[in-house]
Structure 1
Amino acid sequence: MNMKRQLTLRFILQLAVAGTIVLLMSAVAVIWMLQKFNEISITRDFASVGLERLVESSELGAEGIRFDPSLLKQVKENGGWLQSLDEKGQVESSYNTPADVPKQYGPGELVAYWTGKQPFAYHLAIWIEQKDGRLYTLVYGAPNIIQPLLTQVSDGGFAAQGGQLLLPDAMAYELRQGQVFVQLLDRAGTELASYNKPDAIPGQYSVQELVLRTLYSDRYGYLIQSSYNEQTKQTWIVGQKNAGTAATGKEPLIPAEAQIVIIGVIAMFAAMLILFLLLSLWQARRFGAPLLHMLVWLDAIGNAVYQEPLDRKGLSRSRMPSGKWRRRYRVFADVILSIDKLSAALQREQELRKQTESLREEWIAGVTHDLKTPLSSITGYAHLLAEPKYEWSQADVRKFSETMLDKSAHMDMLISDLAMTYRLKTGILPPEVEEVELNAWLRDTLQLAADDPLFGKGRIRYQASAQKAVLVQLYTPWLERVVNNITANALLHNSPDTVLTVSLIISDEKRNRGVTIEFADNGGGMDENTLNRLFERYYRGTDTASSPNGSGLGMAIAKGLTEAMGGKITVVTTPGQGTIIRLNWSDIKVRADGAGLDA
């Protein structure tokens, strides 16, 4: 699997996991908010919400009915009590029930207490539901202080003095103990007098204000009831602080439900922020560390340090001691391998460049020596001829002149070789090709080479093509240079008994296409290093000082000229078994035995 696909799959998987965690956190936040909403509802109106929850959470066992302990705790905090009745009105179980509450109810008795037709010291709420084949009847009671007090103050005709109602001591004590207040309003809703009124309770009521406070006691924190006197046009108000709520007398700035939503949303976003922060840190460690390692490595390569950077312990950061990839580096294995290959290639290039520089310096030193040696001879003979105290014979002068010409020719060869190598480097083409009969031309050229006293007699053999006439179009001055260079390389750099066999071969005789000139010697052959560097411009098997002939550019020139004429040069060699060099023109058209050339 390539790196692109691996990274894509990893990121998709990570996003899927992160998305799943976000959904789970959102679900937890929503469940928590719903639970809080339910708790607020139970606290505000246990009679409507709490009784249903009690029935839903109840369990019927051998000891009777068991209810949720948290809901029973809320009953007690609200100052209420709870009874469970059977179908005959008999109390089966009870919780926090006062002594003045009946243990059994008749059908009409319970309805009378519930509807208020019969005086009762408690507000009643009744919930009837069938569950698991059983009919549940729950009676919830809360102290009913307001209604009796409202009846007393509205029927009592109490006097007022300085805006304060004058109440009996017993009633005043009862009002203070129950956190109950009393107000007397005139026809316009303005307060005439009051007792135990909190600061949060207004002194002026509009019609809407009184209605809202009566209906939404949980919003204002006080449960109030009122009684209107038709004769005096006055209104009596009795109010009591709600159990478990903070009475502010006004609507809160942020409702309790909104506070729960805000807390849940903030908690959810905080958890998401922490999640993505941890994910970012993990991503930085998982993907950032390998990327930083590769950047450091590339920077080191720029500073010519090609080894992979190691950690503080001197171990590889990307691989374990066993050689396996470390987990975080596994996805970048292809990139690291490419950098490793690049480092190895650059290191080889650097070593080769150093070797080339060394060889170039050696070659320049050798060429300098080769140029100075004939130049010294020429200078010496010139001084001898110019010296007036010597009288040289005609034979001596001729001998000196021949030596000076020979040395000049050697210097000219060195300079020509240098010029030719740089011309080939620029990609020159042959000036003008000409048609040549290759069998005869090769025979004559090799004969001239065989006459060179440096090569020795009988060391060059020629095997002509089976065709009597092989006509091709080549630039013969360049081809002669190639043949001479290869011949000199084979005969001068091998033992004196080495024989060079040159063969002319038509590659495709049926189509009269393709020519190969093969140079095969039975010398010592070449090792791999010499073979790989045979055609380098600055490489010689020996330094230039070891042989006065040659410049170290012969094989480089031979390769360049062959390729410039559209051919190819190949070498096959084995140490101790000789060398074969082939010049091949696979696409050249041949006219053999007088046949016409293709257009």
Structure 2
Amino acid sequence: MNIHKRIIVQFFIQLTLVFILFFFLFLAIWGVIGFTIMKDEITQDLSKADSTYFSDKINITGDKVTFEEDLKKLVKKQEGWLLVVNDKGNLIGDYNAPNPIPKRFNESTLGELILQKDADSVDYTHWKLDEMKDESPILIFASENMETVILNNIKSTVDWDNQQINLTAPNIQHLNNHSAWVQLINSSGEVVDGYGTKSKSVSKYTMADFQALSANTEVITDAYFDAATEQTIIVGMPNANSATNLKTFLLNINNGIMILFAGLILFLIIFTFWYARKFGVPLVTMMKWIQNLGNGKYEQPFDLGQKNGKLKRKFRLFKDLIATLSNLTETLQKNQTQSRKMVQTREEWISGLSHDLKTPLASIAGYAQMLESKKYSWSEEEAREFAKIIAEKSRYMMKLIEDLTLTYRIKNEALPISKEKVDMIEYLRRTIIHFMNDPANKEVQFDFQPKDKVIFASIDLKWFQRVIDNLIANAIKYNPSGTTINISIEPIEDQLVIITIEDDGEGMDAETLANLFNRYYRGTNTSDSNNGTGLGMAITKQLVQLHGGSINVKSTPHKGTIVRMIIPR
């Protein structure tokens, strides 16, 4: 997967996770708000609770029931009472219940309580304490309708014929304790008698007034109609729960919005820091890395990997880019090292080359001045000797220039070769005989033992001859007298030929061996022109490669050198 697709997948997964987290955060906050509202509603009216609310507030052990203190306070505050009846109708527990209370309820009585067919001044709410069982005990919460209680107490004292309520002292005290009011209304809707704050606010009721009074949630009312006189008595009192519930609801909504807003801000801050760490740190690191590369500092800003060698998690998304930058850094490091080494070796080679040219030029100039001078008269023999030295120095300089030109021609692929099939055994045999016939090589031992009688290969006679001549000449030149040079050739299947030139001479150190094929490297003393131009081995390797082959050299100081060439047949 490329980096483009990986980033798309990463963003999709991360935004999906953010959406899911935000969704659950939203649900959690609204759940808290809903729970708070429900708790406040239960505090005001226990009948709005469900059976799960009582699961940890009522403990039943056999026929013994224990009520939690908080539940007792709540029941007492709401002026109600609790009954616990088992599946057989037996009362096994109660709290704050009025006396007398029956110890057992038959099916008819329970049905009356559950269906609320008792006196209309009491409301009953029931729950199964264990919803999973059919024979679960039943909890009954009962609470009086205070407006109905007041109405029942007052209607017995009303003088319907004289249109007077005739409140008793206990009735007045009851009305005052609950901020209640009472009105007597005749058949025309006129208020003929009343008590309390409401009694003087309306003098005559219309149909709209009755509807408004019924719809008003801030007031709870009850009424009794006397059929004989067609008069109605109305009792009303403030609905404390309505105002409290509205205030609590608004407060909870406000708190919920504040919690939601604070949660979102906290979530955004955490997400911002996480996002900055996830994407910002890798991007800043790579920008720093690229900046270092631009400034010539070819290294990573810091370690991006773990102890096990893998990339740290925050960098894995950009592993392709990091791999590219690592390769670029490594390449630039190698190029920098090679460039420095190349500059150094080039300077050394130019220094040696200029010295090599300077020495023969100084000899040529010196002998030329001597021949030109009128102070001396040279014999013919002396003049010939001077001319011979000048010619030798000129040939050396010419060879140096030709070698330099040749190596650049090969490098720029400007050297054509013409291959032909050659018997390599005969070819090598003649070359070895040529070196053996040279009187300068009389102290060198040659050993040539081919394994086959005939081995053919396609070579360019001119340039491959230079390769063989240079390798054998080096084996002679850089080794002491008495060195043995072994030359062998053998085929590798039907495709390749391997030629080996091995000596038991001085060998080479590691530095010389490592730079052997570098055309700017001279492992010899440049003050001695007989040591050559320093280009021989570089040209040899290039010519072997032009033939489609390869060359390898192994050497051990004071033990000798082995040169192996592999060329195609």
| TM norm structure 1 | 0.68
Of 209, 219, 222 in structure 2, the residue corresponding to residue 222 of structure 1 is 219
- CA positional deviation for 1:412: 1.1
Of 466, 469, 494 in structure 2, the residue corresponding to residue 481 of structure 1 is 466
Deviations 1:443-468 (A, max 9, x none): 44445555667x54342636264766
Deviations 1:551-590 (A, max 9, x none): 11100100100110222222232222211213332x31xx
Of 243, 248, 256 in structure 2, the residue corresponding to residue 246 of structure 1 is 243
Deviations 1:511-563 (A, max 9, x none): 5x644433222211123332222111112222422444311110010010011
Residue 541 (structure 1) aligned with residue 523 (structure 2): yes
SS across alignment from 1:545: coil
- CA positional deviation for 1:90: 9.5
Of 507, 510, 513 in structure 1, the residue corresponding to residue 491 of structure 2 is 507
- Map 1:233-312; keep pairs closer than 5 Å: 237-246=234-243, 256=249, 267=259, 271=263, 274=266, 278=270, 281=273, 300=292, 303-305=295-297
Residue 563 (structure 1) aligned with residue 545 (structure 2): yes
> Against the structure 1 CA distance between its residues 468 and 134, is the aligned structure 2 distance closer, same or farther, given a 3 Å change threshold?
closer
> Against the structure 1 CA distance between its residues 260 and 20, is the aligned structure 2 distance closer, same or farther, given a 3 Å change threshold?
same
Mean Cα deviation higher: 75-84 or 562-571 = 75-84
SS across alignment from 1:580: strand
Residue 362 (structure 1) aligned with residue 348 (structure 2): yes
Aligned to 1:140: 143
Aligned to 1:592: none
| Unpaired runs of at least 5, structure 2 | 1-6, 130-134
Distance across 2 between alignment mates of 1:541 and 1:42:
101
SS across alignment from 1:500: strand
Distance across 1 between alignment mates of 2:537 and 2:91:
124
Distance across 2 between alignment mates of 1:475 and 1:452:
24
Letter matched to residue 359 of structure 2: T
> Against the structure 1 CA distance between its residues 469 and 147, is the aligned structure 2 distance closer, same or farther, given a 3 Å change threshold?
closer
Aligned to 1:69: 69
- Map 1:99-118; keep pairs closer than 5 Å: 102-104=99-101
Identical counterparts, % of pairs: 29
Residue 580 (structure 1) aligned with residue 562 (structure 2): yes
| TM norm structure 2 | 0.71
- CA positional deviation for 1:343: 6.8
Distance across 2 between alignment mates of 1:473 and 1:540:
32
- CA positional deviation for 1:436: 4.3
Aligned to 1:595: none
SS across alignment from 1:246: helix
- Map 1:403-552; keep pairs closer than 5 Å: 403-428=389-414, 430-449=416-435, 455-459=440-444, 461=446, 463=448, 465=450, 472-503=457-488, 505-507=489-491, 514-552=496-534
Distance across 1 between alignment mates of 2:220 and 2:422:
127
Of 123, 148, 156 in structure 2, the residue corresponding to residue 125 of structure 1 is 123
Q: Residue 82 of structure 2 contacts residue 140 of structure 2 at CA under 8 Å; is this kept in 1? A: no
- Give the number of aligned pairs: 542
Residue 553 (structure 1) aligned with residue 535 (structure 2): yes
Q: Residue 72 of structure 2 contacts residue 95 of structure 2 at CA under 8 Å; is this kept in 1? A: no
| Unpaired runs of at least 5, structure 1 | 1-6, 160-164, 311-315, 589-599
Distance across 1 between alignment mates of 2:138 and 2:261:
46
Distance across 1 between alignment mates of 2:26 and 2:370:
109
Q: Residue 222 of structure 1 contacts residue 242 of structure 1 at CA under 8 Å; is this kept in 2? A: yes
Residue 397 (structure 1) aligned with residue 379 (structure 2): no
- CA positional deviation for 1:245: 3.7
> Against the structure 1 CA distance between its residues 129 and 230, is the aligned structure 2 distance closer, same or farther, given a 3 Å change threshold?
closer
Q: Considering only aligned residues, what root-mean-square deviation do their CA atoms show, in Å?
A: 5.7
> Against the structure 1 CA distance between its residues 345 and 48, is the aligned structure 2 distance closer, same or farther, given a 3 Å change threshold?
closer
Mean Cα deviation higher: 354-363 or 387-396 = 387-396
